Every structure is written in C-alpha cells, then in structure tokens.
A and B are shown apart, each in its own frame.
Chain A
Amino acid sequence: MPNDEVSLPAGSDLRLADEGLVQSEALPRSPLQGMQLALTDLARAYRTMRLIRSFEERLAQEVGTGDVPGAVHLYAGQEASAVGICMHLTERDFISSTHRGHGHAIAKGVEINGMMAEIFGRATGTCRGKGGSMHIADLDRGMLGANGIVGGGPPLVCGAALTAKTLNSGGVAIAFFGDGAFNQGTTAESLNLAMVWKLPAVFVAEDNGMGEATASSFAVAGDITARAAAYGMPAVSVDGTDFFAVHDAARAAVAHARSGNGPYFLHVKAPRYFGHYTGDADTYRSAEEKTNAREQQDCLTIFRDRVLGANLLPANQLAAIDAEAGEAVDAAVTAARLAPSPAASELTTDVYVRYG
C-alpha cells in the first residue's frame, strides 16, 4: 500500500524518549523525522504489543489460581523491544530468548494457543507440555527457545547465524538477553566470536534495570553499550519504552547484519511491570519506581498517545485491537484448561531421535 505510508510530523506533541528509565544518561530522542511506517504496520505493531500485554496480565491472574505449574517470568512493560525488533524479521530469521521469553515468542509469530497450553503443561502445547514457560521454542517460526540459563542464548545465536552464513540463506539471528546476562562469559564470548566470524547477528541487551532482585546499577560495571562497542561492532542505546525508537534502531541493526557487515548491538532500556517471577513480591523496588514504570514508562500508553496525537490510527481501531487481544487470550486460556495433560508414555519419548 504505497499511499499508506506516513511520516510522523516533527514537532507534534509526541512524548520524548529522554523521559526514560535512566535519568543519568541522555538517551537518543525519538527519530521523528524520516521515520516511515505503513499504517498497517502501525496497527500490527500495536496488535502484537497488546497481545503480549494481555497474555502476560492474564497469566499473572492464572498463576494466582494455582493451576499453572512452576513459576512464570512476565515480559509486560518491555513489549516495544520484542515487537520493534521482530517486525524486521521473517521466518528464515532466528531469535534466541530468555526466561522472560513469552514476548519474544509472540513477536516472532509463535501461536498463542500453543504457548498458553505449554505454560499450563498440556499435551497441545508448543512443546507438547515438555518444555514449559522457560523453554518455549518453535523452530518453524525461527524461535530457538526461551532459555532457563542466563546467557544461554547468545552462543546459540552465533550458531544460527553461522548456519545462515554457511548456507547463504540471507537470514539473520537475533539474541535477546537481559542486563543480567551481560555479566555472563557466554555473552562476552559470543560478541567476540560473532565479530571474528563476521556473523549476521544482532545482540539485543534488554535492560530492565534488574537482574532478578539485584539492580543492574550495582551489578554492571561500566557501560553496557561501550562494552559491546569495544568489540568493534556498532552499538546503540535506545529507549525501550519508545516503540518507534526501537523500530528505527532495529531497522538499521538488521539491515547491517543482513547485508554481510557483521554483528550489531542494541541496548534497549525499559522496566518490567512485574517482579522477577510470578510470586515475587517485588519489594526490592520502591513503590514510587513501580508506579512510575506503569504510569510514565508504559510503552503501550506511549504508543497510543503518539498515534492518536498524530491522528495516525483512530481510537476506535485501537479499542477494537484491545478487545480482540483480550478475546484471543481468553480463548487460549479456555482451550488450555480443557486440553489433556501429556500421556504417561511421554515421559520417556523425545530424549533421542534413535537410541540403541
């Protein structure tokens, strides 16, 4: 739809990015000029972000019923990162994710009915109930898996990028990892290897300010972006509450990797809504910080305010998207609750392709 392209008007009342998470550091301002996004893509971005938010908020409630096994790590608050980046990807591209992985999976196109069933431990789940929230993977969609090991994903992404390079598929691989993973050797080693092998990879450090219950201001020495830049790759810090800033930065990052220039690094800052996991009372953050995260740094609110302020999408369309997302999540929960648990025989299948 060529006539569907719009440029956000410069100087409109759009919220500026430097109201972001970290006050001590000036973040790049929203790229108002030159940013082009088809209206259909705007709607798609909002739909996917809203779907993630609805999925996560509903899960927070479902966990409270006691029917969801184990703990779940919710991505709410960080949707602009997964969506702003994955919108530049296709099914031939791979992503690795973290224990906070639902948002990445949904943004990469993994189907939510399967995901919800997986999180409930049902046979109809994405991984037939054998992986759970922390291991949702869908290779057909290029989703290499959420990962229970902090820093587990970046080496795998080097491998996926090596496959793309070796087979000349034109694909890229994206490693999503948290600020917690930035102190893992695997992450440092992967940045180096990707650079040495000139891999089509993008490393995305999603900085929500907390590694479990310890602040990254304590745990991370120096500057995350500067660390990546030291390997010689382009490294950019971006306000993760601002979808447009992420989307714009990711366009450059993915294009760089895809055109054979080697890896690229994005540092995306946005707070998480919830505690580290469901059941975490999140007392380590002040009430003020948590309120601020929801009231001032909500990527969905910011997105809405912008597109409404610039008259890009009508309010009733956004409301309809909200309703659809809620209904889709409702249906996923209903289906998951009705689905059977894996049969006892499943305990010992899928260990090997063939054994003995």
Chain B
Amino acid sequence: MRRDPRVVVIGEDVTGGTGASGEQDAWGGAFGVTKGILGEFGRARILDTPITESAFIGAAAGAAVTGLRPVAELMFVDFLGVCFDQIINQAAKFRYMFGGKTTTPLVIRATYGAGSGSASQHSQALYPLFTHIPGLKVVIPSNPYDAKGLLIEAIRDDDPVIFLENKLLYDDMGEVPDQAYTIPLGEASVPIEGKDATIIAIGRMVRTAKRAAERLRLLHKIEVTVVDPRTTSPLDEETILECVRKTGRVVIADEAYPRCGMAADISSIIAEKAFHSLKAPILKVTPPHTSVPFAPSLEKLFVPLPSKIEAAVKSLFD
C-alpha cells in the first residue's frame, strides 16, 4: 500500500468501529489481519462496508477494471454464496469477454477451514469452486513465509486472485523477512523430500502431512516427499508429476469435500500423466461427503488428521 496508492482494502470490519462511539480500529478484520494500518492509510483506503457481500465484492471488481487494485476481504469463504455472481460471472470473465482489452487486478481474501467449532456455514474449504472457474487464480498458503510472499505477488498480479487463509494457521509461527518479497503463483514447494512416497497436501494439510511424514520416518522407516502446491490455479503439475514419478506412491491430503475436489482433480492428472510410474493406487485423504459438523466429537472426525494420512501412506506398502 505504501508502494502503490491504487491499492485499497475493502470489507466488513476491516477496521471495525466505523460510525461507532468507541475505538476506531477496533477489529482490523474479523481475525485482526488488517489491524493497525488505519492510522497510516486512513478511511479513504481502508474501507469498512455494510454487511453486503454482493455489493462490495462487485464494487471491488468494478474498481479493479477502472483503475484501483482492491484487496477485498470476504470474512469467511462460505459467504461466497451471497456474492458468487460478482466473482465468477463478472470479475473472472471481464478479460475474456472483453477480448483481452482489460485487466482485473483484484484480490479477494477469505478464511477457510474447519476445526474452530464454527459449524457448517463458517468452516468450509471451498477452493475447488474457484479453481473450477477460468479467469480466477487461487492461492492457499500453508505457512507465514509463503503467506507474505504470495500475498504481495497476488496484489501485484493483474488477474483476479482468490487468496484463502486457514483460520487455524493464524497462530502458526515462522520466520518472515521484514522487507517485501514475492513468490510466483504456480510454483509448488517441496518442504520434505523422501524416496518412498509422495504426499500432496494443500493449505493447513501441509502441516498435517509433515507431522505424518515425521511419524512415518521414525516409526515405519518410510521416507516421504511432501508437496505443497501453494496455488491450485495455476497448478504446478510439473513438480507434482516429478515427485510422483520419483516415488511411485502418492497420497493426496485435502480439507475440501471429496467430490469434484482438489484431491480428485490432482488424482486425475496423475492418472493421466504418470500412470506408468505408479506402484500402488492413488489414495485420497479428505473429509467425508458431509457438511461440517458442530460438535467437537464429530468435527475432529471430519478433518483429515496426521493419523489418517499416516495410515493411508502405510497402506500403500501393504
């Protein structure tokens, strides 16, 4: 925002306190992500909105094609249900429908994910819905360093980018340089390399997969590669396929629903392009085809745990 005056932040309670009698930067977003920047940039660039997702997401799209670079915050990705048209029929399609004669430098940030007792309408991992749409880019960082580099890249990108942050990763700690840096969209990272099997994991599942990998190494002498695609659109097929070819065994860990989800999509790519390298069937570890339950006893059964990923990898050797 210091670098480019066209960057504005738009969303519900991105400051919090607008028009109220108390603190003027009371929230800084529902999870405090934008807290503390109001003083420097003012209300002309940090815009609180009414609870009106269709209007403000659409306004962000309209602002993006007319000269601003908006970063809109959709508090929970589940709320896309009330603004989907403005994302998939408007922002995503401008460039194509207008014959390449415009750019849409828009970032929509949203939280996703189960595990916080927020039940069915505040817990989903809906990135497959965005990944499905040509014209959108979809970023799902798994750690603090990537989050910063990918977000700066997303803001500087000239296409609409959906940037999804897992709520349970907000308390994750990691080294992050003070200065600005970027990570290209469409480049996977490989945080762990091992020769026996590959786990492809998305978002928070990367942390879960790394825990599983550690147990597999210590308890079962299975050396696992973990691939973090970092973006589901574009998807770094090359890195995924390369790791699968090296190891011959693959498990895909994904927090999204199983049907038409990322795990299914990546499975199909592997089946098409690396079938002859496979030594065992591709396995998917996902939630069941159910909504996200409220009761903690059920919710912990919903999200893939390290033990499920561990069991899946181990079964490839049975």
Contact: A158 with B58, CB < 8 Å? yes
Interface membership of chain A positions 315-356, coded 1 if the CB is closer than 8 angstroms to chain B and 0 otherwise: 000000000000000000000000000000000011111111
> Please, which residues of chain B bring their CB within 8 A of the CB of A193?
49-50, 52, 55-56, 59
- Cα distance, A354 to B134, chains bound together (Å): 12
B68, A156: Cβ atoms closer than 8 Å: no
Q: Is A252 an interface residue (CB 8 A)?
A: no
Q: Is A196 an interface residue (CB 8 A)?
A: yes
Given contacts A159-B62, A167-B68, contact A353 B103 (CB under 8 A): yes
Contact with B along A158-172 (1 / 0, CB 8 A): 111011101100000
- Interface check B253, CB cutoff 8 A: no
What 1/0 mask marks residues of chain A from 168 to 186 whose CB sits below 8 Å from any chain B CB?
0000010000000000011
Question: Per a CB cutoff under 8 Å, which of B44, B61, B82, B158 touches A156?
Answer: B61
Contact A155 B100 (CB under 8 A): no
B254 to chain A, nearest CB (A): 20
Residue of B59, B64, B99 touching A350 (CB-CB under 8 A): B99
* A144 and B86 in contact, given A166-B45, A193-B52, A349-B100 (Cβ under 8 angstroms): no
Known: A349-B100, A353-B158. A159 touches B54 (CB 8 A): no
Residues from chain B with Cβ under 8 Å of A351 in the complex = 95-96, 134-135
A139 and B104 CA atoms in complex are apart in Å by: 12
User: A352 and B62: CB pair below 8 A?
Assistant: no
Is B186 close to A, CB under 8 A?
yes
The answer on a CB contact under 8 Å between B159 and A155 is: no
Closest to A157 in B: B62
Residues on the B chain within 8 Å of A129, using CB: 99
B102 within 8 Å of A (CB atoms): yes
B52–A189 touching, CB < 8 Å: yes
| Interface assignment of A78: CB less than 8 Å from any CB of chain B | no
* Closest chain A CB from B68 CB (angstroms): 5
Judge if B210 is at the interface, Cβ distance under 8 Å: no
Question: In the complex, what's the smallest C-beta–C-beta distance from B107 to chain A, in angstroms?
Answer: 14
A125 within 8 A of B: yes
Please measure, in the bound complex, the distance between the C-alpha atom of A96 and the C-alpha atom of B94, giving whole angstroms: 13
Is the C-beta of A234 less than 8 angstroms from some C-beta in chain B? no
A192 near B: Cβ within 8 Å?
yes
Q: Is the CB of A125 within 8 A of B99?
A: yes
Tell me whether A139 and B85 are in contact in the complex, defined as CB-CB below 8 angstroms, given that A155-B58, A158-B55 are known contacts.
no
Nearest 4 Cβ contacts at the A-B interface: A155-B58, A159-B62, A128-B99, A156-B62
Q: Chain A: which residue is nearest B52 at the CB level?
A: A189
Given contacts A156-B59, A158-B62, A350-B100, contact A149 B90 (CB under 8 A): yes
Complex-state Cα separation, A96 to B186, whole angstroms: 33
Other than A137-B97, A350-B100, A352-B159, give 13 A-B pairs with Cβ distance below 8 A. A127-B99, A139-B101, A144-B66, A145-B94, A156-B62, A159-B60, A160-B62, A160-B63, A162-B59, A163-B67, A167-B68, A193-B55, A355-B186
The CA-CA distance from A40 to B21 in the complex, in Å, is: 55
CB-CB under 8 A for A196 and B50, given A352-B159, A353-B158: yes
Flag whether B121 is at the interface (Cβ < 8 A): no
Docked CA distance A33–B225 (Å): 81
Q: Does A126 contact B (CB under 8 A)?
A: yes
In the complex, residue of chain B having the shortest beta-carbon distance to the beta carbon of A96? B62
Determine if B94 and A190 form an interchain contact, defined as CB atoms under 8 angstroms apart: no
Q: Are B56 and A127 in contact (CB under 8 A)?
A: no
For this complex, 27 residue pairs linking A to B, each with C-beta atoms less than 8 Å apart, are A126-B99, A131-B99, A135-B97, A137-B94, A144-B65, A155-B59, A155-B61, A156-B86, A158-B56, A159-B61, A159-B63, A159-B65, A159-B68, A159-B70, A160-B62, A160-B65, A162-B47, A164-B66, A189-B54, A193-B55, A350-B96, A351-B95, A353-B157, A353-B159, A354-B158, A356-B186, A356-B236
Nearest to B134 among chain A residues (CB) is A351
Chain A contacts for B284, CB-based, 8 A? none
Let me know if A197 and B47 touch, CB within 8 A: yes
Residue of B58, B89, B93, B186 with most chain A CB atoms under a 10 A cut-off: B58
B139 at the interface (CB under 8 A from A): no
Chain B residues 209 to 234 lying within 8 A of chain A, measured CB to CB, are: 234
Q: Mark A228-246, 1 if CB is under 8 A from B, else 0.
A: 0000000000000000000
* A96 CA to B137 CA, complexed, in Å: 25
**Interface digits, A132-147 against B, CB 8 Å rule (1 contact, 0 not)?**
0001011110001101
> A148 CA to B159 CA in the complex, in Å?
21
Instruction: Determine how close the nearest CB of chain B comes to the CB of A254; give it in whole angstroms.
Output: 17
Does A130 belong to the interface (CB within 8 Å)? yes
CB <8 Å contact, A192 and B52: yes
Q: For A349, list chain B residues within 8 Å (CB).
A: 100
Q: Is B8 an interface residue (CB 8 A)?
A: yes
Query: Does any Cβ of B come within 8 Å of A265's Cβ?
Result: no
